């Protein structure tokens, strides 16, 4: 460990003032001139040549942190929640206000500092009992209430006709999003769902109008 050069030196037989003692002990602007250097400000220049900085030198959470949430209970999202929602095949005019957050794939979390980047990953199983291509579900990832459009996933119907299942059936959707420069403080993220019911299809040919969410998980990890 390199030597700290105190801003004030004490000589035998003299009485230091309280200010001098305080500066030597705690001076956030003193650089290497006080014991404040040990309060999270130790850098490579504070070390003797050949001394490596090992894991035991750092407190937990100094460089990275994270959290994970999940759930297994089935959740049913009826088309009654999305009566005016229109899924845009070109992904340019959907009303994101219709999207409903999914418990077990949503969280509120705190960042102790502004990280260099934050990685979000998720996995979620969803079945759409719509009948035909016109009845589709849409899944999106939201950060602080804003939809991240490149995470959009189309959830096609699990029923090919009124009598049998199609090839898609239930499906597991996985995704990720990398955010740079999130501010220190509280944030909220969520996977959200919406369902476009085939209103222009004859009632006898419609599916049940239900998206069933099964097992899901969402996690994040940030790096300084």
Q: Is 169 left (phi over 0), alpha (psi -120 to 50) or beta?
A: left
30, HSE (Cβ side, Cα atoms, 13 Å): 21
Name the more confident of 124 and 160.
124
Domain match, 14 and 107 both: no
Distance CA 175, CA 186 (A): 23
190/99 same-domain check: yes
Q: For residue 215, give the CATH number of its domain.
A: 2.60.120.40
The verdict on 54 and 86 lying in the same domain is no
Segment of 45-59, 76-90, 91-105 carrying the highest mean pLDDT:
91-105
53 and 68 co-located in one domain: no
Mean confidence (pLDDT) of the chain: 79
For residues 154 and 219, membership in a common domain is answered with yes
Q: What is the pLDDT of residues 95-134, one digit of tens each?
A: 888 889 999 999 999 998 899 999 999 999 988 776 655 6
Give yes or no: residues 113 and 204 share one domain. Answer: yes
Of 28, 58, 88, the domain-final residue:
58
CA-based torsion, 118, 124, 130, 133: positive or negative? positive
Question: In the chain, how many domains are there?
Answer: 2
**pTM, whole model, 2 decimals?**
0.70
Which domain does 185 fall in, by range? 64-223
Cα atoms in the Cβ-side hemisphere of radius 13 Å centred on 77: 27
Q: Looking at the structure, tell me whether residues 23 and 92 fall in a common domain.
A: no
């Amino acid at each position: 460990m390199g030597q700290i050069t105190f801003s004030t030196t004490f000589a035998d037989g003299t009485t230091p003032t309280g200010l001098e003692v305080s500066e030597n002990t705690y001076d956030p602007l003193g650089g290497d001139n006080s014991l404040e250097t040990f309060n999270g400000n130790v850098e490579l220049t504070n070390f003797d040549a050949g001394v490596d900085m090992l894991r035991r030198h750092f407190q937990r959470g100094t460089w990275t942190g994270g959290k994970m949430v999940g759930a297994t209970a089935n959740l049913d999202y009826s088309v009654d929640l999305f009566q005016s929602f229109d899924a845009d095949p070109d992904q340019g005019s959907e009303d994101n206000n219709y999207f409903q957050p999914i418990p077990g794939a949503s969280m509120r979390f705190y960042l102790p500092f502004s990280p260099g980047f934050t990685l979000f990953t998720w996995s979620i199983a969803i079945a759409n009992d719509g009948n035909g291509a016109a009845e589709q579900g849409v899944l999106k990832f939201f950060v602080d209430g804003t939809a991240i459009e490149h995470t959009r996933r189309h959830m096609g119907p699990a029923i090919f006709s009124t009598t049998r299942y199609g090839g898609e059936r239930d499906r597991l959707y996985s995704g990720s999003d990398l955010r740079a420069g999130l501010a220190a403080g509280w944030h909220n993220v969520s996977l959200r769902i919406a369902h476009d019911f085939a209103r222009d299809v004859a009632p006898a040919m419609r599916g049940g109008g239900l998206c069933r969410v099964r097992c899901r998980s969402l996690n994040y990890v940030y790096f300084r």
